[in-house]
Structure 1
């Protein structure tokens, strides 16, 4: 597996993307124009839909060498041979997930405060998601918003590569990279946009600019 590149992390939302077909098309266009990693997240779907979508996503992402991460559902990740799994604080414990997925697949963990950071098992987890940085309407059960200042403080404590998440739009990625993020995760900044390719390219350029 190539080195993990969290620069522009797309979390798919089937409703914003216009269903399964729209989601797969969005992922392909975004991956062709700067997205470096894609997560399938569809909390209201049945398992069969997860399976079909994951297979279709791998078909378009594998040729581009863009990893597919499955949110929470270890069985789906294993069934389609996805690159890894991402879990939250209330999901299956990371030691159990790691035992199930093996030593080579990616494992991401959501965090939102210093306590979460201190408890991260660095020998089991590959990267952390940190947020929500800003208010978000795409995850109704999200933790309280932390803001850019607190995010920067958390970046000084990060035990692993970290991706910022939560309400991030065009123009917001640069400050997060400068605050210490290894990448930014977006949903509506690409999903549901009239031109997902242009949206991804703009965000990718913003991230590169912040690093230079």
Structure 2
């Protein structure tokens, strides 16, 4: 099974109860990977939320990825870490998490894409495909053309993220990309399970 296919990135503005509900329903609907993203909570709150989701995912086969924080990933024994360009260097993160955990890296421009193959990462998050309100500091949008070019030039699995919704999902999926990461389309849905099932059907 392709673990990257439907990659849920959580919304830090959800309460813990709502977060657990969204993740539980999304997994029932067919999400294949879950990344906990917390930009503004303190480490203790991050660990609490990550632990709760780790417990919830037990036995589902869905990997738990921690955004940015290697210490939190180690604390909860997550399945992996996803790094941004300003986070801990990938080589150091790999030394800390060991050879068996998943390591992802966000790639925001062509220079980073050319360099990534020298790094010990398992997959890349190509960001942002389209403009998105959840990430306002992006300087470059890859678009469909850029995504296709990246797929041709990279030997690593690529997860597309940024501005992907029901309207453009099919177009993104037809590029043959390994995975699609979503935040709002699932986290803000009234019925996260139904939303996930609809997305899965489009894939």
TM-score relative to the length of structure 1? 0.91
Aligned to 1:117: 113
Structure 2 CA distance for aligned equivalents of residues 173 and 108 of structure 1: 22
CA distance in 2, matches of 1:99, 1:45: 26
What is the CA–CA distance in structure 2 between the aligned matches of 1:65 and 1:172, rounded to whole Å?
28
Structure 1 residue 143 displacement after superposition = 3.8
Of 13, 31, 35, which residue of structure 1 is paired with 2:31? 35
Deviation, 1:131, is 1.9
Deviations 1:103-156 (A, max 9, x none): 000000001232111111466100000120111111233342221112211111
| Residue segments in structure 2 that go unaligned for 5+ positions in a row | none
Q: Which runs of 4+ in 1 moved over 3 A?
A: none
Counterpart among 187, 190, 193 of residue 191 in structure 1: 187
2:92 match = 96
Which residue of the other structure, out of 2, 8, 11, is the alignment partner of 1:10?
A: 8
Q: How many residues align?
A: 203
For 1:1-212, what aligned pairs fall within 5 Å after superposition? 5-15=3-13, 18-121=14-117, 124-207=120-203
The C-alpha deviation readout for 1:4-27, integer Å capped at 9, x for no partner, is 510000000121xx3121111101
* Deviation, structure 1 residue 28: 1.0
The answer to whether the 8 A contact 1:32-1:64 is kept is no
RMSD of aligned residue pairs (Cα, Å) = 1.4
SS at the partner of 1:145?
Answer: coil
